[in-house]
Amino acid sequence: MRKQFSINEQWFFLREDTKNSLPPKMRDKSWAEVDFPHVWGEREQDFASPCWYCKEIFVEMEPGERAFLEFQGIAAAAEVFVNGISVCRHENGFSTFYAEIGRLLRRNGRALIAVRVENHVSRGRYPAQPDFPCWGGIYREVRLLKLSSSHFAIGTYGSTGITVTPIVNADGSADVFVRTVVQNPQTNQTLIFRLKGGRDVSVPVAKQGVVFHLERPHLWQGVADPFLYTLEVQLEDVSEILDNVTVRFGIRNFYMDPESGFCLNGLPYPLRGVNRYQDYGDLGWAIGRKEHSDDAKLMRELGVTAVRLAAYQHDQYFYDICDQLGLVVRAEIPFTGEFLPGGQARENILAQLRELILQSYNHPSIICWGIADGMETEIAEPELQETLRALNDLAHEMDGTRLTTLANADTAEPGNLCNFAADVVSYRATGAADAFAARLDALREANGNTCIGLASCSFDMLLPEAAQAEYCEACEAVFAAVEVRPWLWSVFLWNLFDSAQSAGLVSADRSVKREAFYLCRAHWSAEPFVHIYTEEPEYNGKAKSMQFTVYSNCPQVTLSVDGEPLAALDGRAVFRFDNVPLGEWETMLFAQCGEVSHGVTLRRAGAVPPPPPVEEYSPEQFYTSPFGEETPAEPELPVAQVPAEEGAPQDSAAQPEEVRPSQEEYVHNPFMPRAFAPRPGTAPPRQEPARCPSCGAERRTNAAFCHQCGSRF
């Protein structure tokens, strides 16, 4: 029976190579304790030397069991040692791989695991000189797996050993082909397939698979209805369950048309989304499920229907999220940057494509394999042409249900072979935004019947944070052009998050949503909202009025200024209010549509706000004790009341008439309560002096404390 355990904690890290690059036999004080995920810095800019990770584990093995370590991501190359013996080397910084350790355990089950990680540039490994950060380290989860001697093969390029291929038939029914790969199968073993909501099927292990026929399948409909089926596959013998794997999959049909673009389940389904790298601010690539989920929430808020998981294989957990949210995915390999001639580099990129396809095959969100990016400038190299053909052929050989694509610069010549090296082509829009629409039409004419899309729209915007106006103008040019060109099979904006190369819709640490984020949301999201564009918290010091922009997906927006309605505009996505009056030093804006609203307060640059009102100090409110303590004054005595005449009717609701002295009768002594103020020409009533309850000393006028013993009166 399959058993798995997380071993992400209490590893030790050495930020240098060991002597002769041999695994350590023992640790000293130079090793630091770390948990996974962990990275040590970007490639070569920070540190180029190989580093080491080690951990001592104890594994209890039963007869016939096999033990594996599962590494879900180590950048960029790793060699795993068990008790000083090398068990495997992996040259892909983005995919899962397994290292078998069971045969090298000591008698007591002890094993010292040591992993040597390299992150320097290699002439035999991709990516070579990429334009994105490459962090080094073990930045995804590590697990210990214990399997029976017969199990679903995990060593086949890191796959689960099970592939599910749904095919939608012309009559609306669907056939689901399930294929398994079993390691060390025996004749008495059986495969059991349990489809949730369907029937169970049992076949001999030699048959390797089964086909489910569904007359009325529940289709995976993107963000509208991302329905997923659950399939449990068990490997059994006569007496026990040897292995079991659960797979979630979706049934959908799609195609791309030069006229209508991308179609999902027979209907046009515009793919509108963003590019996403896996780095996360100061965390780099050392992110867990929380960070992946946070990114998905931002995409959902933005209203995207698709995402380009750019440049390399991303975490399988994020592909799972896209399946569940209905986001269509463009998955890629890191065949980007510089082309590396030679057989070693060629085999490396082919192996990375195999791992991407086999590990990600069952995700319904993935609709194409990106086999290259930015190779158009070196396409004249015959070896590059051969590598592109090999990648395209391999993708179709391994997966006949999906298309291949690549990304070229929109400045590539119409006859560039990269335009025809895959099933469909997409471009990186990098020129001037005002010429964007004309370039799209020229690219379509040059490509004939080939479907074209946009892999990224950046317009050479290596922008600082302050250049939000230009960013929004470029995004508006994109939306204006693509809305009247449905033949674009995809449109991916660059970039969702800030990167080392360019500004994004959201800051790198995910704390700040830029103004362009709300512009895109106004075009894509279905959840009502309004947002007032405020690039700066202040406005011109001399301006009397100015224009304000509101982004909203509502049909009408009302703007109020300092609490007074100004105007209501009808429109779509972008609402511009002209001649909005500005206050002398502050202006409060409030935009509303129905139950959604957004308000901001802006200040005039250089204006000094009026001081806040100062409350007048009343001596009657406080007096000072002999000890310097400021004490609230004693409450006023009740005003004398005039008794009701005898025999007069008593009205419980009526209030007795107050008798107060006239204004001129008051003695203006601020330190004497008015109830004790004598009338002019009269002597004050004689009263016995109050005394201290503790020592009997006479109380001084208005004193709160005794001057003899300090007791409070």
325 sits in which H/E element: helix 316-325
pLDDT at 380 (0 to 100): 79
Average pLDDT (18-43) is 84
Task: Give the C-alpha distances (Å, rounded to integers) separating 95 from 71, 266, 333.
Answer: 8, 33, 10
Provide the 10 A C-beta neighbour count for residue 403: 18
Instruction: Indicate whether 41 pLDDT > 80.
Output: no
User: What span, in angstroms and rounded, lies between the C-alpha atoms of 111 and 57?
Assistant: 5
pLDDT at 415 (0 to 100): 76
User: What span, in angstroms and rounded, lies between the C-alpha atoms of 163 and 182?
Assistant: 12
pLDDT at 47 (0 to 100): 58
Q: What CA dihedral angle connects 32, 35, 36 and 37, to 10 degrees?
A: -80
CB-based contact 143:5 (threshold 8 Å): yes
Q: Which residues of 175-212 are buried (b: 16+ CB within 10 A; e: fewer)?
A: ebebebbbbebeeebebbbbbeeeeeeeeebeeebbeb
Average pLDDT (297-310) is 97
175 sits in which H/E element: strand 174-180
CB-based contact 543:584 (threshold 8 Å): no
pLDDT at 702 (0 to 100): 65
Least confident of 103-117, 571-585, 600-614: 600-614
Residues of the chain with CATH 2.60.40.10: 162-249, 538-604
Residues in the chain: 713
Instruction: Indicate whether 685 pLDDT > 70.
Output: no
Provide the 10 A C-beta neighbour count for residue 9: 11
The dotted CATH code for 3-147 is 2.60.120.260
Instruction: Indicate whether 664 pLDDT > 90.
Output: no
When the candidates are 3.40.50.300, 3.40.30.10, 3.20.20.80, 3.90.1150.110, the CATH number that belongs to 268-524 is 3.20.20.80
Three-class secondary structure of residue 585 per DSSP? coil
Instruction: Indicate whether 44 pLDDT > 50.
Output: no
Average pLDDT (195-208) is 92
pLDDT digits (tens, 9 = 90+) for 233-283: 999 998 899 999 999 999 999 999 999 999 999 999 999 999 999 999 989
Instruction: Indicate whether 502 pLDDT > 80.
Output: no
User: What span, in angstroms and rounded, lies between the C-alpha atoms of 455 and 492?
Assistant: 5
User: What span, in angstroms and rounded, lies between the C-alpha atoms of 467 and 433?
Assistant: 15
Q: Which two tokens stand for residue 701?
A: 């006028």
CB proximity list for 32: less than 8 A, separation 6 or greater: 12, 13, 14, 15
- Reported as a pLDDT band with limits 50, 70 and 90, residue 143 is very high
pLDDT at 25 (0 to 100): 77
CB proximity list for 407: less than 8 A, separation 6 or greater: 370, 372, 373, 374, 426, 427, 428, 455, 456
Least confident of 84-93, 545-554, 663-672: 663-672
pLDDT at 432 (0 to 100): 79
Pick the closest to residue 637 from 680, 684, 672, 679 (CA basis): 672
- Reported as a pLDDT band with limits 50, 70 and 90, residue 420 is confident
pLDDT at 626 (0 to 100): 52
pLDDT at 667 (0 to 100): 46
pLDDT digits (tens, 9 = 90+) for 316-342: 999 999 999 999 999 999 999 889 999
Pick the closest to residue 43 from 140, 99, 142, 126 (CA basis): 126
Average pLDDT, the chain: 87
Residues of the chain with CATH 2.60.120.260: 3-147
Task: Give the C-alpha distances (Å, rounded to integers) separating 192 from 94, 245, 586.
Answer: 32, 11, 71
Q: Between 713 and 556, where is the model more confident? A: 556
- Reported as a pLDDT band with limits 50, 70 and 90, residue 42 is low
CB-based contact 313:319 (threshold 8 Å): no
List the beta strands (DSSP E) in 594-670: 596-604, 622-624, 630-632
Q: How far apart are the first and last CA of the chain?
A: 83
Q: Between 648 and 117, where is the model more confident? A: 117
pLDDT digits (tens, 9 = 90+) for 621-646: 554 555 555 555 555 555 545 455 55
CB-based contact 21:73 (threshold 8 Å): no
pLDDT at 617 (0 to 100): 58
Query: DSSP assignment of 429-475, as one string?
Result: E-S-GGGHHHHHHHHHHHHTTS-EEEEEE-TT----TT-HHHHHHHH
Give me the percent of the chain exceeding a pLDDT of 70: 86
CATH superfamily of 162-249: Immunoglobulins (2.60.40.10)
- Reported as a pLDDT band with limits 50, 70 and 90, residue 449 is confident
pLDDT at 129 (0 to 100): 81
User: What span, in angstroms and rounded, lies between the C-alpha atoms of 611 and 30?
Assistant: 59
CB-based contact 492:457 (threshold 8 Å): yes
User: What span, in angstroms and rounded, lies between the C-alpha atoms of 38 and 46?
Assistant: 15
pLDDT at 619 (0 to 100): 56
CB-based contact 630:624 (threshold 8 Å): yes
Three-class secondary structure of residue 56 per DSSP? strand
Average pLDDT (412-431) is 85
Average pLDDT (165-172) is 97
CB proximity list for 6: less than 8 A, separation 6 or greater: 141, 142, 143
Average pLDDT (478-483) is 92
CATH superfamily of 538-604: Immunoglobulins (2.60.40.10)
Cis link prior to 258 (omega < 30° from 0)? no
CB-based contact 319:366 (threshold 8 Å): yes
549 sits in which H/E element: strand 545-552
Give the CA count within 13 Å in the CB-facing half-sphere of 465: 9
List the beta strands (DSSP E) in 571-624: 573-581, 586-593, 596-604, 622-624
Least confident of 22-36, 185-199, 212-226, 572-586: 22-36
User: What span, in angstroms and rounded, lies between the C-alpha atoms of 1 and 6?
Assistant: 17
Q: Which two tokens stand for residue 680?
A: 């002019």
Provide the 10 A C-beta neighbour count for residue 420: 13
Pick the closest to residue 340 from 328, 326, 352 (CA basis): 352
Note the pTM of the prediction, 2 decimals. Answer: 0.84
167 sits in which H/E element: strand 162-168
pLDDT at 517 (0 to 100): 95
Q: Which two tokens stand for residue 285?
A: 């690539």
Residues of the chain with CATH 3.20.20.80: 268-524
pLDDT at 676 (0 to 100): 47
- Reported as a pLDDT band with limits 50, 70 and 90, residue 665 is very low
Q: Which residues of 528-543 are buried (b: 16+ CB within 10 A; e: fewer)?
A: ebbbbbbeeeebeeee
Instruction: Indicate whether 494 pLDDT > 50.
Output: yes
Instruction: Indicate whether 662 pLDDT > 70.
Output: no
Instruction: Indicate whether 474 pLDDT > 60.
Output: yes
By DSSP bridging, strand 491-493 and strand 545-552 are unpaired
Q: Is the dihedral of CA 72, 76, 82, 83 positive or negative?
A: negative
User: What span, in angstroms and rounded, lies between the C-alpha atoms of 488 and 469?
Assistant: 26
Three-class secondary structure of residue 281 per DSSP? helix
